[in-house]
Amino acid sequence: MADEVVRLDKVRRDYLVGDQITTALGGVDLVIERGEFVAIVGPSGSGKSTMMNLIGCLDRPSSGSVLIAGDSTNDLSDNKLTELRSRAIGFVFQQFQLLPNTTAIENVMAPLLYQGIGTKAAKKSATQMLTQLGLGDRLNFDRNRLSGGQQQRVAIARALVTSPDIVLADEPTGALDSKTGAAVIELLKELHREGRTIVLITHDLEIAASAPRRVFLRDGLVERDERGVS
């Protein structure tokens, strides 16, 4: 059996908005195997953000089951869920979301420090990761002194530094010009070639096309699951 890092079984997620129940996901099955590069594509309101929250261990399903790296998220306490998230998921957010008043290296060290790793070891790993991504000379730059592309690379370094099972990228090119955006996609492809599992959430079909597998969502259901170069 192949190594499944994500398994969604009949996953529903309902929200209470005012006094109305809104269904964001209406019974979704999805399996992602280790080493895959999957784009989850859909217009706004299709349920892709909810999907990201569930895969990212930020949320739990209303029914059905979510297994991340073999662990079910359904019944985990907030603390256990955080531990799972810290171990299994590396987030890359749309607006970079670097921490305020911190330098590049402090951003990359943060997830390690939250895991309880000592400052010295964290600094070493963070330096390595940033150097690998071509930011070796920007370690102590703070957010305001980094370009958009550089900030996104810091964010990617932060996602990778804990060696997570899944890199979860939410519209990672959304805030970048097309050239820098293309460079970030190239970087994700390269990470995939190195064997990492990449889940890319996007509404942009062109961006999605760079992934070998594309899962199309519409109205909270999987509409299409495509493989191969589109």
Partner 1 sequence: MRILGTAALALNRIWATKIRSLLTMLGVVIGVAAIVALTSIVDGASQGINKSLATLGTNQLNITAMAADSLTEQDANALADLDNVSVMFVQAQNQGTIATRESRVNARLVGVSSQYFEAVKPEIALGSYLSSSSFAATSKDVVFGADAANDLGITKEMLGTSVKLNGQDFRLVGVLDDQAGFGTSGRVYVTIDSARKLFSQYPYVSSIVIQANTPEQVDTLQIQADVLLRERYGLGSETTARYTITNQASLIAAVGTITATLGLLLTGIAAISLLVGGIGIMNIMLVSVRERTREIGVRRAIGAKQSNILTQFLIEAIVLSLAGGVVGLILGEIAAFFLAVLGDWVFSIRLDTVLLVLGFSLLVGVVFGVWPARQAAKLEPIDALRFE
**Footprint of partner 1 (CB under 8 A):** 53, 56, 58-59, 78-79, 82-83, 85-86, 91, 93, 97, 99-102, 110-111, 113-116, 118-119, 158, 162
Count CB atoms within 10 A of the CB of residue 53.
18
**Shortest CB 230 distance to partner 1, Å:** 30
The structure tokens 């908005």 sit at 17
158 vs 214, beta carbon nearer partner 1: 158
**Shortest CB 58 distance to partner 1, Å:** 5
Q: How far apart are CA 128 and CA 6, in angstroms?
A: 28
What secondary structure does DSSP assign to 77-138, as a single string? Answer: -HHHHHHHHHHHEEEE-TT--PPTT-BHHHHHHHHHHHTT--HHHHHHHHHHHHHHTT-TT-
**Shortest CB 148 distance to partner 1, Å:** 17
Q: Which of 179-209 are b and which e, b meaning 16 or more Cβ less than 10 Å from the residue's Cβ?
A: ebbeebbebbeebbeeebbbbbbbeeeebbb
**Shortest CB 170 distance to partner 1, Å:** 9
**Shortest CB 163 distance to partner 1, Å:** 13
166 vs 214, beta carbon nearer partner 1: 166
Q: At 9, which helix (H) or strand (E)?
A: strand 4-17
36 vs 59, beta carbon nearer partner 1: 59
20 vs 101, beta carbon nearer partner 1: 101
113 vs 221, beta carbon nearer partner 1: 113
Q: How far apart are CA 11 and CA 24, in angstroms?
A: 10
